[in-house]
Structure 1
């Protein structure tokens, strides 16, 4: 009686193993990520599937142990891409090298046909090939009807409304057709309307009153996970709208003393909060295969602490695709060693700051994309930043092998004759 039972148990086990192997083979999807120009493999590219993200090996290869209908990939220094999965054939994802050279459009700029068209026309005669567009600006305004802002009650607190683009996704699609790389800028912890809607989430002064900065605007507590969640809701909206990259600005603590937060205001707590938020953003946005970036103060490239705002450059690399230091010479009010008047030598500020950032982080130049100054000086002699000053900055960034650069002008006005060609 034992023989037949052992025989059937063994047969059943064998059949189960065979079925599992066949099923696993049918489910697995393999492939490789390569450079469109060199046709060489791209190591450590981020491959996005329905089940999550993985990194390619040194040979650019990857394997996904479950069925997929399409697979996406991205890597710093390239455009993102997507490919369909067909049968059992290996998938080849081809990444096109690209360096964004961008100008900034505010909420007002992107919704103004004249300002938007002027920025678009720069592509005809200059090297501009990208736009940074406000998704949530400095005063908490969005250029589209945001469901996330409506649901949290922030829209009801806005006193001066910017004009909406009723179909921002259509505008973005048109800009993509014109071959623009699109970066969605989200101001995170400076958010006056959200503070009015949820005072308990805001920063308070020593007396427990709502704290306001020099512009009389309120800030949100970076320790608040409710604030995190709301900004991630907005970021997900931006990803669905069609942006190639989500860039977080004001992702820091306010630079003021004597303020009250939900946790003790220590360096360890601050840096943990900022990196924690950015890692949460990277995880939330993973299904969309968008790049994730954050803006930092220029002096963060140099300071050995967190500059008392939670930005420690040595902790940011793991959470981001791109680090974007704001290297405005006017922002270096204390200068640098051997350079007491930065506006006299703007290229030096950019060159030395990027070199210092790379040295301290061990990251290659392609992981940085700096903000550069295209506006009048406010700290030294109030000079206009002309073609020579702008090009000195862009050339320094290019020489550092950065992932391009971005020009900031709060009025969204850019003179094509002053920009690199």
Structure 2
């Protein structure tokens, strides 16, 4: 049903450390793809408006990806002739499975049935959960030391990934970044502190680690690289922000500039670390970040997120817009307008095409306004809005991982 071309390999070898010239185009209509990322032998470049690239110092293997398309790898058959690479258009349409959801036969199989029966073609899977747990046997020593391996819900992650890829499912690894109870508890010197010097805790009574500390960056980048090696198609960082709270102590002065530098700096480091794996790099951001020109006091400033990310993933849950948006104060009564207007504003501010954005959509009961259920009509309205805004697909969030086919097409 869903045809994904995730990798292709040609058989003839290119002598190492040669320059490669070539073009990247769409397999669908042969149109050139501008801004495609071409990587080889540690070097990378972008295609120009005509889809052309020149890559000096290239090795045998060449990898390429572009937002709105699948990724692929190739080996040049002829070192003299220009390399022509075709990418398949693709829009992920996903549901989220938590660390427990992916390990539950009932929840996982229910999601897979929807993939078989509807337009769904992707899964967002917790690789590091909201409570800092890594749900499979990790090779990262620090994960074991801090207690992030106490709950393992997936017995064999490589086998599961292979099984899901056989079904042509696009796999997104969700990494909850700076909300991390195991690391903060085991390594309090890396944790955020309150005014008394004790562990700061959020409304869920969970501690966070300091986004300004390089050791915290390194741990999360190690997890991201492991997910890339396991075969995930995309690495998506969540809670890649500062907490929205006062009286919190950080390693450096807490200013808008320092916050924005920390978040964009971490994501830039992730892009560099993950470059050899040719995986897409994404981050989840607050919906209001698309509307606010500052950093929303959490370090997420929209224009600074465009360079390090392939996909910007705003959480456009109407329930999250408690102050509404212009002309729509009651957000839950206008799910289409919340999603469409927010994505349009993001495109206008950044000058980016819709393919650089993939929103999270609400598939759970409202908690902020009148507690109305979000059923088929509300889900479909949000999907219609995302598609009208030409986003690169969408993702449905339900914290209990329970989804129906309501609002989904076959």
Q: Normalization by structure 2: what TM-score?
A: 0.93
Find the partner of 2:97 among 79, 93, 105: 105
Cα distance, 1:361 vs. partner? 1.4
- Is the alpha carbon distance of 1:50 and 1:378 closer, same or farther for their aligned partners in structure 2, counting shifts above 3 Å? same
Segments of 5+ residues of structure 2 without an aligned counterpart are 1-13
- The alignment partner of 2:370 has SS state of coil
Instruction: State the distance in 2 between where 1:365 and 1:84 align.
Output: 31
Q: Which of these two proteins has the greater Rg computed from alpha carbons? A: 1
Residue by residue over 1:369-417, the C-alpha shift from the partner in whole angstroms, topping out at 9 and shown as x without a partner, is 0000001111111111000000000000000000000000011110123
CA offset digits 1:27-69 (Å, max 9, x no partner)? 3332221110111221221001122211122222223333522
1:221 counterpart residue number: 210
Q: How does 1:19-38 map to 2 (within 5 A)?
A: 27-38=18-29
Q: Answer with 231-240 or 411-420: which moved more.
A: 411-420
Q: Once the 2 structures are TM-superposed, how far is the Cα of residue 118 of structure 1 from its aligned partner?
A: 1.1
| Mapped pair 1:117 → 2:109 | yes
CA contact (8 A) 1:223 1:273 kept: yes
Instruction: Describe the shift of the 1:143–1:259 C-alpha distance in structure 2 as closer, same or farther (beyond 3 A).
Output: same
Task: Answer 1 or 2: which has greater helix percent.
Answer: 1
In 1: Cα distance, 2:217 partner to 2:251 partner: 14
The answer to whether the Cα contact below 8 Å between 1:52 and 1:286 also exists between their aligned partners in 2 is no
Aligned counterpart, 2:6 = none
Q: Distance in 2 between matches of 1:375 and 1:231?
A: 29
1:130 equivalenced with 2:122 (yes/no): yes
State the alpha-carbon separation in 2 of the partners of residues 40 and 98 from structure 1. 15
Instruction: Out of 355-364 and 368-377, give the one that drifted further.
Output: 355-364
Is 1:239 matched with 2:228?
Answer: yes
1:397 maps to 386
Q: Distance in 1 between matches of 2:255 and 2:376?
A: 43
| Residues 1:82 and 1:213: Cα distance change in structure 2 (over 3 Å) | same
Q: Tell me the CA shift for residue 86 of structure 1.
A: 2.2
Within the candidate set 314, 330, 337, 1:348 is matched to 337
Confirm or deny: 8 A CA contact 2:211 2:241 kept in the other structure.
yes
The alignment's TM-score, normalised by the length of structure 1, stands at 0.91
State the superposition RMSD in angstroms. Answer: 1.7
Aligned to 1:212: 201
Q: Of the candidates 294, 303, 306, which is equivalent to residue 292 of structure 2?
A: 303
Q: Distance in 2 between matches of 1:200 and 1:67?
A: 42
2:188 and 2:293 map into 1 onto residues whose CA distance is: 34
**Is 1:407–2:396 an aligned residue pair?**
yes
Task: Kindly state the Cα deviation for residue 157 of structure 1 after the two structures are TM-superposed.
Answer: 6.3
Alpha-carbon distance in 2 for matches of 1:198, 1:26: 43
Match of 1:61 among 46, 49, 52: 52
Residue deviations 1:346-368 (CA, integer Å, cap 9, x gap): 11110111111111111111110
Unaligned runs of 5+ in 1: 1-22
2:325 equivalent among 328, 331, 336? 336
Aligned to 2:38: 47
Deviations 1:128-178 (A, max 9, x none): 011100110100111211222x335554367xx433323211111111111
In structure 2, C-alpha distance between the alignment counterparts of 1:237 and 1:273, rounded to whole Å: 22
Q: 2: CA distance between counterparts of 1:109 and 1:25? A: 44
Paired residues, what number?
396
Asked whether the equivalents of residues 16 and 58 of structure 2 are also in contact (C-alpha less than 8 Å), the reply is: no
